[in-house]
Amino acid sequence: MSAVLSVSNLTKTFPSGDKFITVLSNISFELMAGDTCAIVGPSGSGKTTLLGLSAGLDDPSAGTIVLCGHHLGDLSEDDRASVRNQHVGFVFQTFRLIPTLTALENVMVPGELRGKKNVRQIALDLLDRVGLADRSHHYPAQLSGGEQQRVGLARAFVNRPSILFADEPTGNLDAETGDAVIELLFDLNRTAGTTLVLVTHDMELAPRAGRLLRLKGGQIVSDSALEDPVRSLQPLSTEVD
Amino acid sequence: MAPWYLKFAWRDSRGSRRRMLLYLSSMILGVAALVSINSFGNNLRNAIDREAETLLGADLSFESSRPFPEEIEFVIDSLGGLQSRRISFSSMAYFERTDDVRLSTVRAQEPGFPYYGAIETDPPSAASTFLTGNNALVDATLMSQFAAEVGDSIRIGTLTYQIAGKLIQTPRETAAIMLFSPRIYIPLEHLDRTLLEAGSRADYEVYFRFPEGRDADAIVENLRPRLREAQVRTDTVEEEKEGWDRSLTNLYRFLSLVGFMSLLLGSLGVASSVHVYVRQRIGTVAVLRCFGSRTWPTFSVYLIQAVGMGVIGAVLGSLLGFAIQASLPLVLGDFLPVSVDFALSWSAVWLGSGIGLGVTVLFALLPLLVVKDVSPLVALRADLEADVRGQKSPLWWLVVVTIGLSVTLFAIMQSPSPKIGIGYSMSLVIVFGALVLVAKTLIRILKNHPPTKLSYVSRQGIANLHRPHNQTLIMTLALGVGTFLIATMLLSQHSLLQQMSLVAEGDRPNLVFFDIQSGQVDGVEEELRKRQLPVLDRVPIVSMRISSINGTTISAMRADTTRNLTWAHRREYRSSYREGLTDSEVLISGVMDPRVDPDTLEFIPVSIENDIAEMLDVSIGDRISFDVQGFEMDTRITSIRTVDWQRMQTNFYFVFPLGVLEDAPQFNVVLSRTDTALESAAAQTAIVRRFPNVSAIDISLVMNVFDEIFSRIAFIVRFMALFTIITGLIVLSGAVLISRFQRIEESVLLKTIGASKSQVLRIMLVEYIALGILAATSGIILALGGGWALSRFVFEIDFVIPTLQLIGLVFFEVFMTLTIGLLNSRGVYAKKPLEVLRAEV
Ligand SMILES: Nc1ncnc2c1ncn2[C@@H]1O[C@H](COP(=O)(O)OP(=O)(O)OP(=O)(O)O)[C@@H](O)[C@H]1O
Ligand SMILES: [Mg+2]
């Protein structure tokens, strides 16, 4: 079976004044279909940057990324967009629902971008799955944070993506609501067989992922696939709040 | 299936549609201006075409400043058709009942004219009945000035006429012309011919009406050499029409350019609204990009919205344009020779809405291009703004250049000449650029040197002017342009009037008697002395034309196409003779002979004014022959003078020494000075009663007329300036509304940390007052520069600042800004902290 996401020797630097700061250095890992992977690490360690690069939202300074068989380095920005539309779903920390669209329309957006047929029905089904069938015509401003993120989940799955990127999906929710959202996320993920990349601060949540990458200072300091998962978690729990 | 971005564009505009309409209204106003002015212009041209014949009142006219010579009388005879003569001249009209006098243009005419159209009078029948006896038609304005009534007597020359009716509209004349010199129509049969004696000026006219099918233009073409030889001017319907067409086209094109300026301002308003709008959409764009929308389709979403806005603006603008068009004749009526009907002009609609749409979309593109560069990465980051600094991409510059080119192109299209068009767009750039510069400087001063001594509330209000995403600059620009226009107008009007009253101050002459025959000069002076009025100067005037220069006749020059024959060659010169310079003249070369004996000289020495010497391309030693009313006189230029024409004095291009012209047909001017209008009127009345052919002009009257004319022009300019100010205020409303959410948040924040409702309100008050002052000051600073340059270089007069009016203008603008600002912020300061958390953006 081939890798859904394959990252090798990834380095990202940003210009800062007349110098460059290295945000990610020499990152390599590979995820297979259906894998779930949590990325943890202190603030500023480069988690979001890694996520963005993996999804082809930005260009790496060095290294290669192969996403669903596409060498992202060879593609233009627009071609990467097409790859995302075909294969990628997103869940954002700040929900990022489009304020001018209803819940249903928000869920439909990725499908409409693709020009998919009966996207409306799929979207309605997904809204039903996340328990918001009766709220489909409400605007984001009329929904609570948790409800908004559930709409966000439905949107992420509407194109049946091969891989889903979620950057702290519960970061803006209280613990209880967050838990519910996470349950849904794993549930949807399991049924759809999607590969999941999850950035989180939540140390109870992290172990639920099949794999755990620990970032620090732009480097992978531990990868559960290469170590004993239990030991590797010990020092981490004291480090993260 | 429709592409997704069409559907998305529509959905995404939800919640902004009504606000978009508001942003648009400034542009709607601009389109309305263009549509109304152009539509009106087209109607005007149609009206002129349709009523072309009434413009002249005949098929053909001959005109000469002396009685037609015999050979021309022969031509006139041979032309046949219907003919009607008219003699026009300036003369004093004496109102017997009220004992008033006023210099007027008298037209003595025969029955027949006008053959087309009519002289409009009140009562209407007077237009024909006045010809039957010693009757007159008198300009309605003049009659109301002197409280004269139909049936009153007026004296012109030695004859008395009964006023048969008021003149309302006459062929070949507009109401504005009447202001310069009121008209009086009398029958030619009953004209006091002594008024036409040698020396005084009169126009001799004959009007023809030909049977259908005779081509007046062809007749003129045939006769042209002979008529020109005899210095007879001609006019045909076609020529008259062209003349009006040209000047009216220029008029409405000028208005159209002003309308265009308000469209540009409106577009700037649209651009700044779109700028804020796009900022609010960056999150949406980033999400779309994350989920895989491509660059151009994403951009299309917003382009479609902009085009949609443009289309709506064009349609509504056209509709409003029609409404405004209906009001234009009220504003311009006095300057028009025909009445203009209201009719829709589709070409004007296409022009106005096309340009409106184009300009809106182009201006909207500037902020829209950002959409193209929004990185999907933004969706992952909390701070949306960080990544989208409006880079000036090549595409952005392309749009800027396109805007510049289209504006210039339009200006060239609308201007009489490409030069003026380019000049217009250059001045736009300069005015806009200067305003931006002034406004930016003021904003920077406020920012870098905050008024620390003020209260917290005031400081906060002023700080609002330069907070992030402020619309201060755009509003200053929009309001500033209007202020600039109004203030410049105010400044030049004030400076000119000031100059004119200065002229009449001190012991300078302010009462002028002219057309005095040589034998009457002593009598006029005697009358003045009897009233203890000074005789400040007496000047003889002799009319002459140039017949040849250095041996080449004017007609030979005319035949020679390589020579540049100017107005200076053809005009009639009124020259004088005296011993030397007056105090308004400076000799720049040669010497002036005080007195000569013509019998001993081959050439008579003459002094020439510097500018006219340049136009005639002559200098010291050149020979000029004059035709002095039939007598040939050979002269040689022996001196060149400069003349200060600003001085209220009798100034001349040519001055002869004593001993030459004393016996030529001439008339005299006597200058005096009175301190009260009453004295002046009494002196005029006495002298005109004794010497009916003598005319008088009171400088204060000239100033009144001037003021009146200027006020009417100023009215048009203000009408247009108002447009730009309204545009500015709409931009202001848009700006306030668009930042409403931010403001609500702030006001709630302030309240949460303990500010009272009244404090929040006062912060806003300070902000709008400061904004009004900022905009008004920027406009006025610029106007001071412009007004100074105008008076210095164009009018060549001292620059005077009407401080009070300017302060009034500032107050007006501050008041308007405050009103509009507060109206649109209704409720912002009253919001309760909790409401904001759920408020819709
Ligand atoms: N566009 C950029 N320019 C310069 N520096 C950047 C840019 N984007 C990110 N960085 C820097 O890269 C580092 C990693 O940022 P990143 O957002 O990936 O961290 P993170 O692990 O997601 O942190 P958090 O847990 O707070 O979200 C930070 O120090 C950040 O300041
Ligand atoms: Mg992050």
What is residue B256's predicted lDDT score, i.e. its pLDDT? 75
- What was the ipTM of the complex prediction? 0.92
* Probe site for chain B from A23, A54, A92 (most B CB atoms < 10 A): A92
The residue to which tokens 């000069």 are assigned: B521
Mean pLDDT of chain B: 81
Domain encompassing residue B583: 535-672
Residue B68 is given by DSSP the state: P
Closest CA to B770 of B735, B813, B739: B813
Q: Is B600 inside any structural domain? A: yes
**Picking from B123-127, B279-283, B724-728, which range would have the lowest pLDDT averaged per residue?**
B724-728
Could you report the per-residue pLDDT of B127-165, keeping only the tens digit for each?
888 888 899 999 888 888 788 889 999 988 888 999 999
Q: Which residues of chain B have a CB within 8 Å of the CB of A72?
A: none
Q: What is the mean pLDDT of residues A151-172?
A: 92
Residue A151, both tokens = 């709409």
Instruction: Report d(CA B423, CA B415) in Å as an integer.
Output: 10
Q: Which of the four pLDDT bands, split at 50, 70 and 90, describes residue B307?
A: very high
pLDDT at B523 over 80: yes
pLDDT at B828 over 90: no
Q: Is B563 inside any structural domain? A: yes
Q: Which residues, in sequence order, are CB contacts of B576 under 8 Å at separation 6+?
A: B539, B540, B541, B542, B650, B652, B655, B656
Nearest chain B residue to A94, by CA: B382
Q: Which residue has the higher pLDDT, B570 or A94?
A: A94
Instruction: Report d(CA B284, CA B287) in Å as an integer.
Output: 5
pLDDT at A240 over 50: no
What is residue A233's predicted lDDT score, i.e. its pLDDT? 46
Q: What is the mean pLDDT of residues B168-179?
A: 70
pLDDT at B198 over 60: no
Q: Which of the four pLDDT bands, split at 50, 70 and 90, describes residue B200?
A: low
Mean pLDDT of chain A: 88
Q: Which residues of chain B have a CB within 8 Å of the CB of A83?
A: 292
CA B351-B266-B310 angle, to 5 degrees, is: 55
Residue B479, both tokens = 């309001």
Q: Is B358 inside any structural domain? A: no
What is residue B199's predicted lDDT score, i.e. its pLDDT? 54
Calculate what percentage of chain A has a pLDDT beyond 90: 65
What is residue A234's predicted lDDT score, i.e. its pLDDT? 44
Q: Is B401 inside any structural domain? A: no
Nearest chain A residue to B287, by CA: A96
Using DSSP's 3-state secondary structure scheme, residue A143 falls into coil
Q: What is the mean pLDDT of residues B584-598?
A: 87
pTM: 0.71
Query: Is CATH 3.40.50.10440 what the domain over A5-90+161-225 is classified as, yes or no?
Result: no
Could you report the per-residue pLDDT of B359-417, keeping only the tens digit for each?
889 989 988 988 888 888 888 886 655 445 555 788 888 998 998 898 888 888 877 67
Buried b (16+ CB within 10 A) or exposed e, B75-87: bbeebebebbbbb
Q: Kindly determine whether residue B294 and residue A81, on different chains, have CB atoms separated by under 8 Å.
A: yes
Which stretches of B51-104 are DSSP H helices? Answer: 52-56, 70-79
Q: Is B194 inside any structural domain? A: yes
Number of domains in chain B: 2
| Chain B residues near any Cβ of chain A (below 8 Å) | 1, 4, 7-8, 11-16, 283-284, 286-295, 375-377, 379-382, 838, 840-841
Residues facing B104 on adjacent strands: B91
Sort B112 into a burial class: Cβ within 10 Å, 0-12 / 13-18 / 19+.
middle
Instruction: Report d(CA A58, CA B502) in Å as an integer.
Output: 74
What is residue B294's predicted lDDT score, i.e. its pLDDT? 92
Scanning A199-228 for CB atoms below 8 A from B yields: none
Q: Is B414 inside any structural domain? A: no
Buried b (16+ CB within 10 A) or exposed e, B428-446: beebbebbbebbeebbeeb
pLDDT at B22 over 50: yes
What is residue B299's predicted lDDT score, i.e. its pLDDT? 93
Q: Which of the four pLDDT bands, split at 50, 70 and 90, describes residue A161?
A: very high
What is residue B246's predicted lDDT score, i.e. its pLDDT? 74
CB B284 within 8 A of CB A140: no
**What is the CB-side half-sphere exposure of residue B631 using CA atoms within 13 A?**
11
Q: Which residue has the higher pLDDT, B122 or A67?
A: A67
Most trustworthy range by pLDDT among A237-241, B327-331, B489-493, B767-771:
B767-771
Q: What is the mean pLDDT of residues B298-312?
A: 91
Which element (helix H / strand E) includes A156?
helix A145-157
Sort B826 into a burial class: Cβ within 10 Å, 0-12 / 13-18 / 19+.
exposed
Could you report the per-residue pLDDT of B735-773, keeping only the tens digit for each?
677 666 667 777 777 777 777 778 888 888 888 888 888
pLDDT at A5 over 80: yes
What is residue B102's predicted lDDT score, i.e. its pLDDT? 81
Q: Is any Cβ of chain B less than 8 angstroms from the Cβ of A46?
A: no
Q: What is the mean pLDDT of residues B810-830?
A: 80
What is residue A56's predicted lDDT score, i.e. its pLDDT? 92
**What is the CB-side half-sphere exposure of residue B418 using CA atoms within 13 A?**
1
CA-based radius of gyration for chain B? 34
Q: Which residue has the least CA distance to atom 9 on ligand 1?
A: A49
At residue B675, what are phi and psi to the nearest 5 degrees? -100, -20
Which element (helix H / strand E) includes B670?
strand B667-672
Scanning A61-100 for CB atoms below 8 A from B yields: 77-78, 81-86, 88, 90, 92-94, 96, 98-100
The residue to which tokens 């004296």 are assigned: B155
Q: What is the mean pLDDT of residues A201-205?
A: 80
Q: Which of the four pLDDT bands, split at 50, 70 and 90, describes residue A104?
A: very high
Q: Which residues, in sequence order, are CB contacts of B755 under 8 Å at separation 6+?
A: none
At residue B436, what are phi and psi to the nearest 5 degrees? -60, -45
Q: Kindly determine whether residue A113 and residue B293, on different chains, have CB atoms separated by under 8 Å.
A: yes
Q: What is the mean pLDDT of residues A215-224?
A: 90
Helices and strands counted in chain B (H then E): 25, 21
Domain end: B184, B219, B243, which one?
B243
pLDDT at A227 over 80: no
- Amino acid identity of residue B539, one-letter, is V
Q: Which residues of chain B have a CB within 8 Å of the CB of A55?
A: 290
Could you report the per-residue pLDDT of B790-808, keeping only the tens digit for each?
777 766 677 778 888 888 8
Could you report the per-residue pLDDT of B677-722, keeping only the tens digit for each?
778 888 888 888 888 778 888 777 777 766 766 676 667 666 666 7
What is residue B829's predicted lDDT score, i.e. its pLDDT? 64
Q: Which of the four pLDDT bands, split at 50, 70 and 90, describes residue B175?
A: low
Q: Kindly determine whether residue B290 and residue A115, on different chains, have CB atoms separated by under 8 Å.
A: no
CB B191 within 8 A of CB B135: no
Q: Is B170 inside any structural domain? A: yes
Q: What is the mean pLDDT of residues A214-222?
A: 91
Could you report the per-residue pLDDT of B223-253, keeping only the tens digit for each?
888 888 788 888 888 887 887 777 777 667 7
Could you report the per-residue pLDDT of B314-363, keeping only the tens digit for each?
999 898 888 888 777 777 666 666 676 777 788 888 888 888 899 889 98
Residue A131, both tokens = 């328990």
Closest CA to B24 of B312, B420, B374, B333: B312
Instruction: Report d(CA B767, CA B773) in Å as an integer.
Output: 10
Using DSSP's 3-state secondary structure scheme, residue B574 falls into strand
Q: Which residue has the least CA distance to atom 7 on ligand 1?
A: A14
pLDDT at A228 over 70: no
Q: Which of the four pLDDT bands, split at 50, 70 and 90, describes residue B273?
A: confident
pLDDT at B623 over 90: yes
Helix axes B237-290, A103-114, angle to 10 degrees: 100
What is residue A235's predicted lDDT score, i.e. its pLDDT? 43
What is residue B187's predicted lDDT score, i.e. its pLDDT? 92
Instruction: Report d(CA B238, CA B55) in Å as an integer.
Output: 10
Ligand 2 ion local residues (Cβ < 5 A): A 48
CB B138 within 8 A of CB B163: yes
CB A150 within 8 A of CB A123: no
Q: Is any Cβ of chain B less than 8 angstroms from the Cβ of A114?
A: yes
Q: Which of the four pLDDT bands, split at 50, 70 and 90, describes residue A122?
A: very high
Which stretches of B191-234 are DSSP H helices? Answer: 216-229
Could you report the per-residue pLDDT of B454-474, keeping only the tens digit for each?
787 888 888 878 776 677 787
Instruction: Report d(CA A147, CA A173) in Å as an integer.
Output: 10
